Amino acid sequence: MKFFVDTAEVDAIRELNDLGMVDGVTTNPSLIAKSGRDIKEVTAEICAMIPGRPVSAETVALDAEGMIAEGRELAKIADNIAIKVPLTWDGLKACKVLTGEGRMVNVTLCFSANQALLAAKAGATFISPFVGRLDDLNIDGMELIAEIRQIYDNYDFPTEILTASVRTANHMKEAALLGADVATAPPAVIKAMANHVLTDKGLDAFLKDWTKTGQKIL
């Protein structure tokens, strides 16, 4: 499963990229606002940091023409831009046009298997089902990932399932078990995957015993 980082914070992306953990980056208007930076400037910086790997930049127009124009503008930033459009009827129209031009398109704000089916039919490069926001409503977000996986496999759709709105390390595990192609997560969630209480406990015990030996390695 590919790891995308869901942030516009350049330093956090760099830290994970240095560990080889970054297969791509996703941003959205809220994340750009949180970064306090100019969308084109920060997106260009991210694209240059991870050449050849997709960086999603989101359109904000509500009509297809506006999304297409914004998408083309965002695509000028770098070759590795994936244009993000919302899963609306106009977003699907924009997806069809932009992918027809050979651009990567990430169809975002997906909350149902039918929406994902439409996105695949419209040629989406990525579909982004938001698992965390479904969980917030007491609807199992991971069930949606399983449904989309089955539908895409039934018909060999090449659209990649990009598990989004990931809130926990457990979401990452579940996405991988279900065969999601990608999961995008905030840096803190990716780091949290390394944590285990028994690792901490074991380390503590080893260090206590080591101190008793009075030895040094260096």
Q: Give the start-end residues of each E strand in the chain.
A: 2-6, 24-26, 55-58, 81-86, 104-110, 126-129, 160-163, 182-185
Distance separating alpha carbons of residues 69 and 86, to the nearest angstrom: 15
Q: Is 2 in the site for ligand E4P (CB under 6 A)?
A: no
Question: How near is the Cβ of 84 to ligand E4P at its closest, in Å?
Answer: 7
When binding is defined by CB under 6 A, the residue of 54, 128, 174, 181 that contacts ligand E4P is 128
Closer residue to ligand E4P (CB): 123 or 129: 129
Secondary structure tally for the chain: helices H, strands E:
11, 8
Q: Is 165 in the site for ligand E4P (CB under 6 A)?
A: yes
When binding is defined by CB under 6 A, the residue of 132, 151, 173, 192 that contacts ligand E4P is 132
Q: Is 9 in the site for ligand E4P (CB under 6 A)?
A: no
Check if 84 is active-site: yes
Candidate ranges 42-50, 61-69, 127-135, 175-183; the one touching ligand E4P (CB under 6 A): 127-135
Question: In a 3-state reduction of DSSP, which class is residue 23?
Answer: coil
Q: What is the largest CA-CA distance in the chain?
A: 72
Distance separating alpha carbons of residues 119 and 132, to the nearest angstrom: 20
Find out whether 74 and 105 touch, Cβ atoms under 8 Å. no
Catalytic residue selected from 40, 76, 84, 201: 84
Q: Is 108 in the site for ligand E4P (CB under 6 A)?
A: yes
Q: Would you please indicate which residues are annotated as catalytic (active-site) residues?
A: 84
Query: For binding to ligand E4P (CB under 6 A), which residues are involved?
Result: 6, 26, 28, 108, 128, 130, 132-133, 164-165, 184
